[in-house]
Amino acid sequence: MKKSHLLNFILLVVLAFGYVACGPKTTTEEITEVTETQPERFGGLALYTLRDSMAADPKATLQAVADAGYAYVETANYEDGKFYGMAPADFKAYLESLGLTAKSAHMGMVTLENADQLIADAKAAGISYFVIPVPPMGMFTFGPEGMGMKGTKEELLSVLQTLGKKCSEAGLKLLYHNHDFEFKPMADGTVLADYILENTDPADVNFQMDLFWVTKAEADPLAYFEKYPGRFIAWHVKDMNPEGQFAPVGTGSIDFNRILAEKAKSGMEYYLVEQDQTFGLDPMEAIKISHKGLEEIGFN
């Protein structure tokens, strides 16, 4: 009888030891595997790149952006007082739950009449930079000949100055985002980018330089950093393929190392990957390639 109890006891000890030995090993392997697949969080993403996914399922898409290693985002959707269908405070809270922040917002729908509300909502969402993506209030034009502007440079300047003061008073910073036409001479010979930079107060109006579009216009970003130091607070970072089309960062011809070396002179405080079109490549895959490119180039 005692011998039977002893055998049972030994069997229980063996089984328990096997469970303890195997259990933690499996858990450790699983934890190690998850840790190794998590990319370092740095850099920003302009959500315009993922506009279709953001329209279909914004929360899942933002989770994927965080998983891809990005640390902050720029919004490209605001409607009826909401960002991607979420009230400003809810949008901020959801981003925070993912370890993200909304650094800036493209507010192409802004007018002098709705500006106060848009600024207040941007601030409630935790956004610091209010970006004018194109000449607002119906001034932007787009057609077979490319992008441009109707109205006068003086009218655009007045709008930017007014909006810039409103943003400053609210504790935000206003940035103007360029395309290529701002770096090409207008009918009267004026280069719009120079006109804006020379006639606005840096305390209220600065630039979000899109490095692709500056290159497309055959202008040199470094020449602008030298001429207007400290005015290019943000950069849109996207590459150019041999056909002159958008490409993931690090896969094209733009010399980002050369540009990044002059970061301090430019005044750059943050940067964002953006790819307007991905030409058959899944946009989510494109932003992953770009994030790897950022790391290899030395962005952080």
pLDDT single digits (tens) 72-102: 999 999 999 999 999 999 999 999 999 999 9
DSSP 39: P
For position 6, what pLDDT does the model report? 41
For residues 93-118, give the mean pLDDT. 98
List, for residues 263-297, the tens digit of each pLDDT value: 999 999 999 999 999 999 999 999 999 999 999 99
CATH class of 40-297: alpha beta
Residue 174's pLDDT band, with cuts at 50, 70 and 90, is: very high
pLDDT of residue 40: 74
The residue with tokens 């000449």 is 135
126, 118 Cβ separation under 8 angstroms: no
Average pLDDT over residues 220-242: 98
* pLDDT at 42 (0 to 100): 98
pLDDT bracket for residue 37 (50, 70, 90): low
pLDDT at 173 over 80: yes
Between CA 19 and CA 28 the distance in angstroms is 14
pTM: 0.87
**8 Å CB contact between 236 and 205:** no
Question: Going by DSSP bridges, is the β-strand pair 129-132/173-177 parallel, antiparallel, or unpaired?
Answer: parallel
Q: Which two tokens stand for residue 142?
A: 């787009």
CA distance 251 to 249: 6
Beta strands in 25-158 (DSSP E): 44-46, 72-75, 101-106, 129-132, 140-143, 146-149
Average pLDDT score over residue span 37-50: 87
Question: For residues 173 and 167, is the Cβ–Cβ distance under 8 A?
Answer: yes
Q: Which residues contact 73 (CB under 8 A, 6 or more apart)?
A: 44, 45, 46, 47, 62, 65, 95, 100, 101, 102, 103, 272
- Percent of the chain past pLDDT 70, that is, above it, reads 87
CB 140 within 8 A of CB 149: yes
pLDDT at 38: 58
Q: What one-character DSSP code corresponds to residue 151?
A: S
The domain ranges of the chain are: 1-37, 40-297
| Cross-strand pairs, 209 | 235
For residues 134 and 176, the answer to whether their CB atoms sit within 8 Å is: no
